Amino acid sequence: MIVVRHSPIHGNGVFATSAIPAGTRICDYLGEIIDLEEVEHRQKSADGNDIYIMAIDEKYFIDATRLVENNPARFINHSCDENCDAVWDPAEKRLKIIAKRNITPGEELSFDYGFELIDFFKHPCRCGSKNCCGYIVAKPLRGSLFKKLAKHNRAKRSLQISPDKK
């Protein structure tokens, strides 16, 4: 149903090898369940290396960084026009990747990483979607992102000296 290969979005990505109907459980995001304090520790000690940590809720996360074998979900890239959802199943204690809509063969799987606005400039988006907001920011925060960008652009323009005033 899926394969990991080079992605035009970023590094490796996960692609459908056959049609995947909406609502299908595609795979699970596997890894070690850790708390926020451990997330912060691992982020600081990553030394620029890729880490694969997904939020379960505000307190707990799954770190798939060390679990490489049989864990394709860790390579699913962000998109501003995502075709999958990551859904925590508390009964099974699994983070399931579910098709949000019908996915066609060859299409790259993606979901909304849901990043906060903090340091958004450090997370440019390369999804290529016509709905791309330019940064990896959670959908509910994109209105605030656009306001911040407009304010930033106004401030930048006001600092520029026009050629007539030199």
pLDDT of residue 73: 96
What is the distance of C-alpha 109 from the center of its chain?
A: 11
pLDDT of residue 114: 85
The order of strands in the sheet holding 94-99 is: 25-29, 94-99, 84-89
Number of helical H runs and strand E runs in the chain? 2, 10
Beta-ladder partners of 89? 94
How do the domains of the chain map onto residue ranges?
Answer: 114-166
How far apart, in whole angstroms, are the C-alpha atoms of residue 13 and residue 30? 16
Beta-ladder partners of 88? 95
How far apart, in whole angstroms, are the C-alpha atoms of residue 161 and residue 157? 8
pLDDT of residue 165: 54
pLDDT of residue 111: 95
- Residue 131: count other Cβ atoms within 10 Å of its Cβ: 11
- Residue 67: count other Cβ atoms within 10 Å of its Cβ: 15
The tens-digit pLDDT sequence of the chain (166 residues) is 999 999 999 999 999 999 999 999 999 999 999 999 999 999 999 988 889 999 998 899 999 998 878 899 999 999 999 999 999 999 998 999 999 999 999 999 999 998 988 889 999 999 999 989 999 999 999 999 989 899 888 887 777 755 555 5
pLDDT of residue 152: 82
pLDDT of residue 151: 87
